[in-house]
Amino acid sequence: MRNFVEFVCDKYDVEHTVSNGVDYLLNKIEEATSSITASTCIGNEYIKPPRKCVIKLIERNIERGHSGHEENNIIATEIINAGYRNKDIHFIFESIYNEAGADWGWYTSNPNTAGRQIEQIRSKALNRYSKDKLIQIGVCTEKCGCP
């Protein structure tokens, strides 16, 4: 399957690397061959709503006006896996940093264009952080109730 997807990528001049997930490449092929624009590479069966502890992290970082790199990764993987579109992701990160987008990686000046970090997470089809990892980092607790 992978070889066939790479063959089609080559046929339609879709750039790809070995770290790109098949779902991501299929969406890029779809974009290259039709007028439909894919907003995310996560299939419906994998979309999960954001967990309360990550929503609290987002709210806390908006209040602080800052978010660390690992916190951004937690937020990004959570909202990508929840099926958020570029505009929603842009809004969240712009709200955290309270400044217009540039080439910071998480969002750009165009709300319809994902930042570099968001594209990388999508291209690698990364899953959201496990509850154990969120507890280890201090974002979640055993009593949180999130999955």
Same-domain check for residues 59 and 104: yes
- In a shared domain, residues 105 and 64: yes
Q: Could you tell me the residue range of the domain that residue 18 belongs to?
A: 2-33
Alpha-carbon distances of 82 from 1, 47, 75, rounded to whole Å: 26, 5, 11
Examine the domain organization and report whether 25 and 62 are in the same domain: no
Asked whether residue 93 is domain-assigned, the answer is yes
Same domain? For 96 and 128 the reply is yes
143 vs 80, which has greater pLDDT? 80
> In the predicted model, is pLDDT for residue 39 greater than 50?
no
- Tell me, yes or no, whether 21 and 59 share the same domain: no
| Number of separate domains in the chain | 2
Query: pTM here?
Result: 0.69
Which two three-digit tokens encode residue 11? Answer: 């046929």
Q: Does residue 99 register a pLDDT over 60?
A: yes
d(Cα 24, Cα 105) in Å, to the nearest integer? 19
pLDDT tens digits along 3-15: 888 888 888 888 8
Q: What is the pLDDT of residue 46?
A: 60
| Residues recorded for the chain | 147
